[in-house]
């Protein structure tokens, strides 16, 4: 028979009085239960994507062979349901492995406490998209603010106003500087289409931060130029567009003119659709490292060709 969750509210002084040291330690260990997956709801606005990639395939294979090694973390909801705090990928892998139940630690925590646990646990992933960092940092900072720690989301990307306790707390926990945390949070102001281009590495991080200060309509015009005319904005160009936007002088015509300016780093480039070369790139090579891999492959070919 599977364990049925019965929440332990902790030991009282009377119970501890008759326990050995070993029993006290064991009593405080997390309680693990088997929970039906159908009773688990995803975390609201979960910022981390569950990708069906090679890592997922390996996780599914591992679960089929050894079971789930690391339990997920849930918090109880009403009517006998649970909310996933940490373990969305593991839940999906268990489903793909054909499991109906999942091992879980159940914690009686608030929504804001759950946000902090969710963000901190997911930031341990080996690959994190800029959009995932952006929304998770924002969620964590807002949770800390609601817990009474003041923060400032309005300072410039260079961060002169930073230094509040909540920003410092987020920076200390996630491993990025206070300034970098704020830059990531600015990305949440991008329209989805532009943010997708940041995730795949087509638009660089710093230009993307500057573009986040444009209005949605202005961002749409920039996006159209990127897609239909293959014009990528430089950091200097996005700084100019941001200043013009702030002064109310940025029109579609000006955006098009700036975007079409010749940039030294975009002269004599060869454009090959990523979809056409993807079959020849090992699955373990990320999009961001594809260019480096192609360069090394060409160097290898050239060296061996000359030996023939």
pLDDT of residue 296: 83
pLDDT score of 156: 40
pLDDT at 55: 85
**Range 142-156 average pLDDT:** 60
56-77 exposure pattern, b = at least 16 Cβ within 10 A, e = fewer: eeebbeebeeeebeebbbbbee
pTM, 2 dp: 0.66
pLDDT per residue as tens digits for the range 54-109: 889 999 999 999 999 999 999 999 888 999 999 999 999 999 999 999 999 999 98
| pLDDT above 50 for 190 | yes
pLDDT at 3 over 50: yes
Residue 22 has a pLDDT of 55
Summarize pLDDT for 251-287 with one digit per residue, the tens.
999 999 999 887 665 545 567 777 778 788 887 787 7
Chain-wide mean pLDDT for the chain? 81
Q: What is the C-alpha separation between 225 and 7, in angstroms, rounded?
A: 56
Both structure tokens of 20: 């050995």
Which comes out higher in pLDDT, residue 302 or 140?
140
In this prediction, residue 170 carries a pLDDT of: 61
CB-based contact 82:76 (threshold 8 Å): yes
Residues 2-6: what's their mean pLDDT? 55
- At 37, is the pLDDT very low, low, confident or very high (cuts 50, 70, 90)? very high
Could you tell me how far CA 14 lies from the centroid of its own chain?
A: 45
The arrangement of strands across the sheet holding 72-76 comes to: 32-36, 101-106, 72-76, 82-86, 40-41
pLDDT at 150 over 80: no
pLDDT tens profile 104-141: 999 998 998 998 888 888 887 777 899 999 999 998 88
């Amino acid at each position: 028979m599977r364990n049925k969750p019965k929440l332990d509210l902790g030991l009282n002084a009377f119970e501890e009085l008759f326990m050995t040291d070993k029993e006290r330690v064991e009593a405080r260990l997390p309680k693990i239960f088997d929970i039906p997956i159908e009773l688990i709801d995803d975390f609201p606005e979960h910022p981390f994507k569950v990708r069906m990639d090679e890592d997922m395939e390996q996780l599914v294979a591992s679960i089929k062979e050894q079971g789930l090694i690391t339990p997920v973390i849930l918090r109880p909801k009403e009517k006998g349901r649970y909310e996933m705090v940490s373990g969305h990928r593991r839940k999906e892998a268990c489903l793909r492995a054909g499991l109906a139940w999942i091992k879980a630690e159940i914690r009686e925590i608030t929504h804001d406490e759950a946000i902090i646990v969710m963000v901190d646990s997911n930031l341990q992933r080996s690959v994190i998209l800029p959009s995932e960092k952006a929304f998770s940092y924002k969620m964590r900072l807002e949770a800390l603010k609601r817990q009474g720690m003041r923060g400032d989301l309005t300072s410039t990307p260079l961060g002169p106003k930073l230094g509040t306790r909540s920003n410092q707390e987020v920076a200390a926990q996630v491993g990025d500087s206070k300034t970098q945390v704020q830059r990531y949070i600015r990305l949440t102001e991008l329209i989805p289409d532009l943010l997708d281009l940041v995730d795949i590495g087509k638009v660089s991080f710093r230009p993307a931060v500057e573009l986040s200060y444009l209005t949605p309509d202005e961002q749409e015009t920039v996006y159209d130029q990127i897609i239909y005319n293959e014009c990528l904005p430089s950091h200097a160009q996005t700084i100019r567009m941001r200043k013009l936007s702030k002064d109310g002088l940025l029109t579609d015509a000006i955006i098009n003119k700036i975007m079409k300016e010749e940039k030294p780093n975009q002269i004599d480039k060869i454009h090959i659709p990523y979809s056409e070369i993807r079959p020849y790139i090992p699955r373990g090579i990320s999009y961001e490292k594809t260019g480096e891999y192609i360069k090394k492959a060409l160097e290898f070919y050239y060296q061996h060709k000359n030996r023939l």
